[in-house]
Structure 1
Amino acid sequence: MTSLAQKSLLRAGLGLLLFGMAYAILNQHLLTQSILYRAAAHDYDTAISSLFSFGIQGLLLLVAVVILPKSWFTGTLIFVAISSAVNITYGQLLNDTIDLQKMAWVLTEARQAGNAASEFAIPLMIAIGKLLLAILLLWGTRRAMRQPVKDFIQARLPRKTVSSVPVILIALLPSLVWPATGFGPEAAERNVYGYLATLVTAEPPPKRRNIAVAPQNGVGTDKILWIVDESVSHEIFSEIIKPGITETAIVDYGKVASMGNCSTPANVALRSGVNVRNVDEKTDLRTSPSIWGYARKAGYETTLIDGQVSGPPQNLLLAPERKLLDNYRAMKGGLRTDFKIAQHLNGLLKSDGRKFVLVLLRGVHFQYRDHFPREDLVAGSSIMTQYKQAVSYSKKGFFDELFKDTDRSEIAVFYTSDHGQNIGPGLLPHCSTQPVEAEFSVPLLAFLPPGKIADYTPQLPTSHSASQIFPTTLQLMGYPDTYAREEYDNDLNSSTAQYVWFGRGIFPVSDGGSIDINKPDDFPGR
C-alpha cells in the first residue's frame, strides 16, 4: 500500500470517528431510550430494529455530509441543526425525548421562550454547546473524508469529474424517502420536520359527545381522587404496601385487571370511560365525554397532577381533553416525588369546594434501581429485589401523609396502578407484544366515606376490572346508578360485565380507522 493510500485510509477512519461522535451527540436521548433501555428491559427485537433504523439514517447523513457540493452541504447542516436543536434542547431541559405530542406542546409554549431562556440559562448553554460541537464534528468529517471519497469515486468512473445532479440525488433522495417507510424511530436530524408536517396536515380530533344525563342536585361526594401508580403489581402491593396502610375505611378489591399492559392505553381508557359491552375496533375514545366532562357538569373543579413529567401532559391527553382541565400540575421532583404529591393532595382534601383530582404517581418504572437511593443498592441484587426495594421506598409514608388530619366523611379515593409487572430473567416487565397475566394484574383500593363502604363492598367473590372505577365514580358524583352501569360497566359492588384491554393503537389514525382492542373471556393474559 502506497503512502498516499495509507493517508487516505487514515483520513477516512478519522472522518468516521468524528461522524460517530457527532451522531451520538445529536441523538443521545433517542439512542439511549430506544436501544440501550430496550435492551436492558430484554426487548431485544425493538432494540435491534431501532439500531438498524439509526444505522440507515446515519449512513444517509454521512453520504450527504461527504459528497454533496459545498452549497448543498451548508444547507444540509442548517437542516440538521434546526431539527437537532429542538431535540437536544428538549432533552437537556427535561431529560426526555421529544415526540409528536410534546412537539405540539413546544409550539403552544413558544411564547414562553424568553422566560425559559432566563430560567434555564445553564441547561440551554449546555444544549447550544452540544449542538455546536456536533456541527463542528460534521464539518470535520467532511474535511477528513471528502477528498479520499472523491478520489475513490473518480478512480472508478470513466469521467474525470462527477456531475453535481446525480451526486445530489444519490445523497438526498433516499433520505427524503426514508420517513415514508414508517420504519423508526426517526433520528434527531429529521424528526422535527415529520412532526411538523403531521401536525399541519392532521385532522382535528372529533367532537366529544354531550352528556345525556344530569347529576342529582346536592348529591355527591365533595372530594374524589383517582391515584394511579406506575408499574406496581398486585402481588408486590399486597406484600410491600398494604401492610403499612393504617386507614380503616377501605375496600380492597384484590387482583384487578388493568385496561392495558402499556401506560398510555391504560390511562387513556381509564380517563375516557369504556362501554365494555359494546366497545369494538371502530370505537373512538376521543369522542367520549371523559371523566373531566362528567366532573365539570357535576360542579367539580378538575385537576391533573403528574409526578412523571416536568412539561406537558402525557398519555395522549389531546387539546380538546386538556380544555376540560381547570388545573394541570407537573410535579416530577426526584426520588420522593410521590411523598411530595401526598402532601399536596392532603392540602386539597382539606380545602373548600368540590374537587375531582387524577394523580399519576412517579411509581417505579424500569429501571427499578433508579427509584431509591443509590447507596441502598446491594451489589448483585436480583431485579425482583430491586423492584421490591423501589416499591417500598416509593410509597414510604404516602398514605399516612395523604389522609393526615382529614375529615373522611366527604372523601373518596381510588388507588390503582396503570399496569402490572412480569419480572424474571430475560423478560420484558410490561408492554410486551404477547402480554401475560402479570402485566395486567394491579391493585385496587377504595377509601370511601363510612356511609358508602357497604354500598361498594361485594358480598360474593367477584372479578374486577379497572373499567369499573369510572361508573362507580359517576355514582359518587351523583349521576344515576343505572345510567353509570349501562353506559360503561358494572360498579365495584359486582363483577365486571366484560374484561377489556387496549393495545398501543388505542386511537384510530384517521376517521373511520380501527383500534387495537381485546375482549377476553377471562382475566387478560391468561
Structure 2
Amino acid sequence: MGRQGGVNATRGALLALKCALLLAVILLTNHGFIDRIRLLIDDQRQLTLMIFSIIWVISVLAVLAAAFHPNWIIRLLWAVPLAISSAAAYGYYLVQGSEFFIFDVLNFWTVRHEAHRASEFYSNAIWWSVAVAILGVVAIAMPPSLPPLATRKTRYWSPLVPMLPIVLIAGVVIYREGKGSEALPKQFSPLSLAAIAAYKLNSGTFPEREIVSMTPERKQARAIVLLVDESIRSDFVSLEPRNPVTPQLAELRSRLIDFGPAVSGSNCSLQSNALLRFMAYTRNLVQSVKASPTVWQYAKRAGYRTVFIDAQAGFVTVYGKLQNYMTPAEAISIDRFYKLDNAIRTHDLDDELVNIVLKEMSVGDPVFIYANKNGAHFPYSDGSPAEFASDAGTSGTLQSYANAVRWSTDRTLSRLIDGADWRDATMIYTSDHGQNFSAGRLTHCSSYTNVDPNEAIVPMLVSTGDEELRARFEKVATQYPNMATHFAIAPTLLELMGYRPSEISARYESSLLHGLTSQLQFVTDDILGLFSNRPAWHSVDPTIQKGRQRLDLLVTLTNSRPNICEGGIGCVAEPEPISSE
C-alpha cells in the first residue's frame, strides 16, 4: 500500500504540475478575454457572445485533448504548433500591446525578408516568446499522469480534435471579411490566420493592368526623380537653420519647396510603395491598386526611360524575390533595375543610391527614376557608421534614430541636391511611412484599429530648377500648408510627364501642382481586396507633431535631457545630446 500510495502521490503531483503549466500558458497568452466579454455584454451582442463562448469552450477542450492524449507522438505533434502559436501571439503583444490580426499575418509574410533586422530590434520580445514556446511544448507534451481508468478512456480521443477550433476561427474570420478574431484563443487563432493568409495569397487572382489611355503632350521635366525614403518622420526633417538633425538640408532650403508634414499612403512600406507605383487613387482604391497602369507604363508611354533603384534589396535573401508587391510582369517595364546587394555596408547604401541617381540623370535623355532609400530602417544603429554614432552619443532609441536620419537622409539628400543639374529636372522627396516611438508599440505597420497617426506622418519636399514649375509648387505649398498626401504624387508625376491636366483631374483629386483638397487619410490592411473592397481608412492631422516641443529643443547640443512625452509621440527613454559635428 505504501508503494502504491507513493506512485499515486507522484502521479498526482505530475498531474497538478501539468495542469498548472497549461493554465499558465493559456492565461499568459490570452490578453483581452475579459474585456471582450464585457464589450459584448455591454453592446448586447448576444449571438456574438454565444459564438465567442462556444469557440472558447471547444478550444479549451481541444487543448486538453491534445495534452492528455495517451500517445506521446500525438502530444508532441500538437505541442509544437500550439506552443508556437501561443508564443507568436505573446511576442506580438509584448511589442505592440495588442493582438495581431489577419492583415498583420499578410504583412509579416510579405516582408519576411526583414526578419533579421526585426529580430535585432525586437530581441527582448523574441527571447520571451521563445520562453513561452518552450513552456508550451513542455506543458502539452509531458506525460498525462492520469489514473489507469482515465488513461484507458483517453485512448479513444481523436488526434484531430484540435483541428476543430482552427476551422471554426477560420470560418469566423472569412465570414467577417478578415475581422472577428479578437480575443479568441491564441493557442489556435494564429494558426487559423496563417492558414487563411496562405490560402488567400495562393488563390487570389488579379486582372491584367489597363493600358495607358491618357495622351501625353509636352514634357514638363526631362528628368523626374521620385525619391522614397525609409521610416522618416516629418518632424525629424527640418529646414530651420542650425537644427541638430538635418543641418545640411537647412543650408539648401532656398532650393527646396517644403509642403510641411504630409500623410503617407499607408503606415507600412510595402503598401505605401505599392500605392505610389500603382498610381492609386482614393475614389476606388482597391480597383486602382489591382488594375491601374503602373508608373512605369505611364512613363514609357510619355517617352521616358525608366530606372528603379532598390537600396534594400540586399536584405532579400530569397533569390529573385521582389519587394513591395512588385511582380515580374511589372519589372518588365523597368529599363534599368538596380538592386544594391549586401556587399555594401548598410550605412553606405544610400550613398551608392545617390551615385546611381546622379549617373542616370546625367545621361541627358528623358528619364524617370524611382528610388527606394534604406533611410532609418531599424535597427537604427545600423543607419550610421560607428564613429559617427559615437560622436553623437548613442544611448537610447531616439538618439540612434536621429543619428540615422542625419547620416542617411540629411547628408545623402544634400549630396544629391548639390550634385545634380536641376535645370530641366524635378525631384519629389518623401518617406514610405513615419515612426511611432511609444513604448510597447510597433514603430510602424500597425494594423486594424490600433494605429498611431505618427506612423503615417512624413516629409514632403520638392526640388526643381524650372522657375515656372517652382512658382507653381510654391504657390500650392503656401495655399495648402500641411495638406499634402502620397495620393497627390501620382497626378503630379503625370503632369510632369506631359499628360493633360483635364484627363488627370478626372481620376485624381489633389496635385502638388494644382491644389491639395483631398481628405488627410492613410490606409491599412486589405489594399489588394483579398477579403473585401473596403480597406481601413484612418484620418490624421499631420500637424500633431508640431504640438510638442521642436526637435531642436528636445534633442539639444547641450547636456540637458528634456522630457519628450508630448504631442502624441509617446514616452521614450531620455536621449543623449546630439553632437553638432
> How does the TM-score come out when normalised to structure 2?
0.60
Report the more deviating stretch, 316-325 or 492-501: 316-325
The aligned counterpart of 1:388 is 402
Q: Which amino acid aligns with 1:290?
A: T
Q: Aligned pair in 2 of structure 1 residues 104, 510: CA closer, same or farther (>3 Å)? A: closer
Q: Which amino acid aligns with 1:307?
A: Q
Give the superposition deviation at 1:405: 4.5
Q: Does 1:253 align with 2:259?
A: yes
Contact 2:237–2:245 (8 Å) recurs in 1: yes
Which residue of 499, 503, 506 maps to 2:519?
Answer: 499
Same amino acid, percent of matched pairs: 21
Q: Aligned pair in 2 of structure 1 residues 199, 523: CA closer, same or farther (>3 Å)? A: closer
The aligned counterpart of 1:360 is 372
Q: Does 1:465 align with 2:469?
A: no
The aligned counterpart of 1:290 is 294
The aligned counterpart of 1:301 is 306
Contact 1:231–1:418 (8 Å) recurs in 2: yes
Q: For structure 1, which runs of at least 5 residues remain unmatched after alignment?
A: 24-30, 36-52, 88-97, 107-132
Q: Does 1:416 align with 2:417?
A: no
Task: Give, in whole Å, the separation in 2 of the partners of 1:377 and 1:243.
Answer: 14
The aligned counterpart of 2:504 is 484
The aligned counterpart of 1:198 is 200
Q: Aligned pair in 2 of structure 1 residues 450, 253: CA closer, same or farther (>3 Å)? A: same
Q: 1:380-420: CA deviations, max 9, x gaps?
A: 64x54444333223325312443565433343221112334
The aligned counterpart of 2:471 is 454
Task: Give, in whole Å, the separation in 2 of the partners of 1:330 and 1:13.
Answer: 56
Contact 2:75–2:141 (8 Å) recurs in 1: no
Contact 2:296–2:306 (8 Å) recurs in 1: no
The aligned counterpart of 1:509 is 529
Give the superposition deviation at 1:225: 1.8
The aligned counterpart of 1:162 is 153
Contact 2:68–2:143 (8 Å) recurs in 1: yes
Contact 2:312–2:373 (8 Å) recurs in 1: yes
Q: Aligned pair in 2 of structure 1 residues 65, 294: CA closer, same or farther (>3 Å)? A: farther
Q: 1:130-165: CA deviations, max 9, x gaps?
A: xxx99xx99x959972362x54xx44x4xx723644
Task: Give, in whole Å, the separation in 2 of the partners of 1:437 and 1:191.
Answer: 26
Question: SS in structure 2 opposite 1:389?
Answer: helix
Aligned length: 444
Give the superposition deviation at 1:237: 0.2
Q: Does 1:270 align with 2:282?
A: no
Give the superposition deviation at 1:211: 1.8
Q: Does 1:216 align with 2:234?
A: no
The aligned counterpart of 1:445 is 461
Give the superposition deviation at 1:190: 7.8
> How does the TM-score come out when normalised to structure 1?
0.65
Report the more deviating stretch, 237-246 or 308-317: 308-317
Q: Aligned pair in 2 of structure 1 residues 314, 324: CA closer, same or farther (>3 Å)? A: same
Contact 1:215–1:479 (8 Å) recurs in 2: yes
The aligned counterpart of 1:126 is none
Question: SS in structure 2 opposite 1:409?
Answer: coil
Contact 2:245–2:403 (8 Å) recurs in 1: no
Give the superposition deviation at 1:5: 4.8
Task: Give, in whole Å, the separation in 1 of the partners of 2:65 and 2:364.
Answer: 64
Q: Which amino acid aligns with 1:453?
A: R
Alignment root-mean-square deviation, CA: 5.1
Give the superposition deviation at 1:476: 1.8
Task: Give, in whole Å, the separation in 2 of the partners of 1:410 and 1:57.
Answer: 65
* Aligned residue runs from structure 1 range 17-416, under 5 A: 64=66, 67=69, 69=71, 100=106, 145-146=142-143, 148=145, 150-151=146-147, 154-155=148-149, 157=150, 161-162=152-153, 164-182=155-173, 183=181, 194-202=196-204, 204-216=205-217, 219=219, 221-238=221-238, 239-240=243-244, 242-245=246-249, 247=252, 249-275=255-281, 279=283, 284-298=288-302, 299-307=304-312, 310-311=315-316, 312-317=321-326, 321-322=330-331, 324-326=333-335, 327=337, 329=339, 331=341, 334-351=346-363, 353-365=365-377, 368=380, 371-372=383-384, 373=386, 378=393, 381=396, 384-395=398-409, 397-403=411-417, 405-416=419-430
Q: Which amino acid aligns with 2:513?
A: N
Q: For structure 2, which runs of at least 5 residues remain unmatched after alignment?
A: 32-54, 89-103, 113-129, 174-180, 546-581
